[in-house]
A and B are shown apart, each in its own frame.
Chain A
Amino acid sequence: MTTNVAIAEFFYCIIALIFLLVGVKALRDKDHPKRISTALFWFILAFTFSIGPYLPAWITGVCVLAIAALTAANRVVQSKSDVPTEEQSRSHADKIGYKIFIPALTLAFVAVLAATFLPFGANNAIGISAAVALAVTYALTKAPAKSAVVDGTRLMDNVGPVGILPQLLAALGALFTAAGVGTVIAKGVSVLIPEGSRLIAVAVYCVGMALFTIIMGNGFAAFSVITVGIGIPFLIMQGANPVVVGALGLTAGYCGTLLTPMAANFNIMPAALLETKNKYVIIQSQARVALVMLGLHIILMYILAF
Chain B
Amino acid sequence: MELLKLIGVLIVIIGFVLKKDTIATVVIAGVVTGLVARMPIIEILNTLGSSFITQRTATLFVLTLPIIGISERYGLKDKAVDFIKKAKAATSGRIISLYLAIRALAAAFSLRLGGHPQFVRPLINPMAQAAYVAKHGPADEKTEDMIKGFSAAGENFGNFFAQNVFMGASGTLLIVSTLNGQGYDVNALQIAMMSIPVAVIAVLVGFGHNVLLDRTLAKSAIKGGE
A interface residues with partner B (beta carbon < 8 Å)? 11-12, 14-15, 18-19, 48-49, 52-53, 56-65, 67-69, 71-72, 74, 84, 88-90, 92-98, 100-101, 103-105, 107-108, 111-112, 115-116, 121-123, 125-127, 129-130, 133-134, 137-138, 140-141, 143, 147-152, 154-156, 159, 161-181, 184-185, 187, 212, 215-221, 223-225, 227-229, 232, 236, 242-244, 246-251, 254, 257-258, 262, 266-267, 269-271, 273-274, 276-278, 281-282, 284-286, 288-289, 292-293, 296-297, 300, 304
26 A/B residue pairs, CB under 8 Å, sorted by A: A65-B27, A89-B77, A92-B74, A104-B71, A104-B109, A108-B108, A111-B168, A112-B189, A123-B60, A126-B64, A141-B70, A147-B70, A151-B65, A154-B69, A164-B59, A167-B55, A170-B177, A170-B181, A171-B48, A173-B178, A174-B181, A181-B33, A242-B186, A251-B160, A257-B160, A270-B116
Q: Which of A90, A151, A180 contacts B75 (CB 8 A)?
A: A90
Q: Are B45 and A62 in contact (CB under 8 A)?
A: yes
Q: What's the dominant secondary structure at chain B's contact region?
A: helix
Assembled-state Cα–Cα distance A14/B3 (Å): 43
Assembled-state Cα–Cα distance A106/B179 (Å): 27
How many chain B residues sit at the interface, stated as a range, is 35 or more
Residues of A within 8 A of B16 (CB): 215-218, 221, 262
Assembled-state Cα–Cα distance A166/B6 (Å): 21
Q: Are B17 and A243 in contact (CB under 8 A)?
A: no
Q: Report if A171-B52 is in contact (Cβ < 8 Å); known contacts: A155-B65, A224-B178.
A: yes
Q: Are B198 and A248 in contact (CB under 8 A)?
A: yes
Q: What's the dominant secondary structure at chain A's contact region?
A: helix
Residues of A within 8 A of B226 (CB): none
Q: Report if A270-B120 is in contact (Cβ < 8 Å); known contacts: A108-B167, A292-B205.
A: yes
Q: Which of A15, A137, A269 contacts B116 (CB 8 A)?
A: A269
Q: Are B60 and A177 in contact (CB under 8 A)?
A: no
Assembled-state Cα–Cα distance A19/B62 (Å): 9
Q: Which of A112, A169, A178, A282 contacts B192 (CB 8 A)?
A: A112
